[in-house]
Amino acid sequence: METNSTYYIDLITRYFYNEATPDEIRELEAWVKADPKNKVTFSEYHKTWKAVENARVESSADIDLEWKTLVPKLTIKEAESRHLILRWSLRIAAIFLLAAIPTFFLYRYFGNESEKQLIVTTGMVEQTLPDGTIVTLNTGAILSYPSRFEGSLRKVTLQGEAWFEVAPDKTKPFIIAAENVRIRVVGTSFFVNTKTPDDETEIILSTGIVRVYYSDMPRKTALLDPGDKAVLAGNGHEVIKTTNEDVNFLAWKTKHMVFNNTSLIEVVELLSKVYHTNIRLSGSLLNDCRITTTFDRQSLESVLNVLKATLDLQIRNTGAGIEITGHGCYQNK
């Protein structure tokens, strides 16, 4: 089974943070070499991190000054921990959000528009934008937005997976840019993934109305209603609109997973994504195993114990991930 790409995005992030083990680095190297698309993904994230370092060099912000400003707000124990992180984290001139320092970093940069904010996540992050819109970003996601929404539009750019709860404002539509794909809303909630395995952008609408289109063909839009799913190719102009049938599309955010006679291969793929862990089936004996169950905010250990007891599996931690073995489930055919 091919491990879900979200796991490797998390691994790339830990590699840049110098947190990856030697075994994980070798695994990442093998993944990059295995497919040209993987190499492109790695290069894109590398460019982002280089941009962060360039921002550090060009910025006049003083980390020690930032530290002196933050110290009165922290306990002594918290202060010591965050001081180490501020010194260690690429030495960028950044404003760290106190509630999520281990999870993401944010830096500011200047251009022709108003001051910009860039968030690069190393874990799931919930961020409130200047207009009150709430965005939940999955591991490896990158979000750019202005410090103030000026003019007639509220525009942000996104790479990766995110859940948006857009604050209503009929006078100022909300625009999400994902390469040449555009998503236009007024006030609604929906899921976006700009990095599907097929290099497509996927939108799943929960409430409200969404219009999707390509930046070079703004008049050719597709309208989504609640429950609809749209897929747009990164280098095309076709919008494929269907009804969403994936009940687990938000499992990475909610850790609520429903399996109804689902193959163990699919279960393991979702668990790898939700828990950011490399989980794999050993051999093909388990390909016929299927399971019907529901998990709700349970730990990975708890979930694996249920699978182990239900399907008579053997589960071991190899250091590089979790390996699942067993005698097969031929009786379930």
Q: What is the CATH number of the domain that holds 304?
A: 3.55.50.30
- Say if residue 42's pLDDT is above 70: yes
Is residue 166 domain-shared with residue 280, that is, in the same domain? no
pLDDT of residue 197: 77
Establish if 277 belongs to a structural domain: yes
- Last residue of a domain, which of 245, 275, 290? 245
- Per residue in 134-191, pLDDT (tens digit) is 999 998 899 999 989 988 999 999 999 999 999 999 899 999 998 889 999 977 888 8
Rg (alpha carbons) of the chain, rounded to whole number: 21
Mean of the pLDDT values across residues 101-118?
A: 56
What's the rounded mean pLDDT across residues 64-72? 44
Q: Are 119 and 236 part of one and the same domain?
A: yes
Any domain includes 178: yes
| Residue 49: predicted pLDDT | 61
The confidence score (pLDDT) of residue 250 equals 95
CATH classification at residue 195: 2.60.120.1440
- Do 141 and 240 reside in the same domain of the chain? yes
Does residue 264 sit in the same domain as residue 188? no
Which residue type, as a one-letter code, is found at position 177? A
> Is residue 284 included in any domain, yes or no?
yes
Domain assignment of residue 128, yes or no? yes
Among residues 159, 255, 241, 160, which one has the least CA distance to residue 204? 241
Domain assignment of residue 10, yes or no = no
pLDDT tens per residue across span 281-322:
987 788 889 999 999 999 999 999 999 999 999 999 888 889
Strands 239-243 vs 210-214: parallel, antiparallel or unpaired? unpaired
Q: Is residue 53 pLDDT above 90, yes or no?
A: no
Looking up tokens 């290069």 gives 43
Q: Are residues 116 and 236 in the same domain?
A: yes
Say whether both 159 and 237 belong to one domain.
yes
Least confident of 114-123, 201-210, 321-330: 114-123
Structure tokens at 50: 């280089």
Can you tell me the mean pLDDT for 31-39? 81
Domain boundary, last residue among 214, 245, 276: 245
State the Cα–Cα distance between residues 323 and 278, nearest whole angstrom: 9
Q: Mark whether 215 and 304 lie in a shared domain.
A: no
Q: Give 50's pLDDT tier (boundaries 50, 70, 90).
A: low
Residue 46 covered by a domain: no
What's the pLDDT at 38? 79
Predicted confidence (pLDDT) per residue in 212-262, tens digit: 999 888 888 899 999 999 999 867 788 999 999 999 999 999 999 999 999
pLDDT single digits (tens) 71-98: 444 444 444 444 444 443 433 333 333 3
179 and 288, same domain (yes or no): no
Residues 237 and 222 in one domain: yes
Same domain, 273 and 322: yes
Specify whether 162 is located in the same domain as 269: no
Does the structure show a pLDDT above 90 at 113? no
Residue 18 lies in a domain: no
CA–CA gap between residue 88 and residue 90 (Å, rounded): 6
The parent domain of residue 277 ranges over: 251-332
Which position has the token pair 């993934």? Answer: 193
Average pLDDT for 54-72: 43
Of the two residues 53 and 126, the one the predictor is more confident about is: 126
174: region left, alpha or beta (phi > 0 left; psi from -120 to 50 alpha): beta
- The residue length of the chain stands at 333
Our count of domains for the chain comes to 2
What is the structure's pLDDT at 64? 42
Bigger pLDDT: 192 or 49? Answer: 192
End of a domain among 228, 245, 262? 245
The predicted structure's pLDDT at residue 4: 53
Q: For residues 53 and 89, what is the distance between their CA atoms, to the nearest angstrom?
A: 10
pLDDT at residue 174 in the model: 95
Are residues 198 and 144 part of one domain?
Answer: yes
pTM above 0.75, yes or no: no
70 located within any domain: no
Instruction: State the SS3 of the chain.
Output: CCCCHHHHHHHHHHHHCCCCCHHHHHHHHHHHHHCHHHHHHHHHHHHHHHHHHHHHHHCCCCHHHHHHHHHHHCCHHHHHHHHHHHHHCCCCCCCCCHHHCCCEEEEEECCCCCCEEEEEECCCEEEECCCCCEEEECCCCEEEEECCCCCCCEEEEEECEEEEECCCCCCCCEEEEECCEEEEECCCEEEEECCCCCCEEEEEEEECCEEEEECCEEEEEEEECCCEEEEEECCCCCEEEEECCCCCCCHHHHCEEEEEEEEHHHHHHHHHHHHCCCEEECCCCCCCCEEEEEEECCCHHHHHHHHHHHHCEEEEECCCCEEEEECCCHHHC
For residues 295 and 8, which has the higher predicted lDDT (pLDDT)? 295
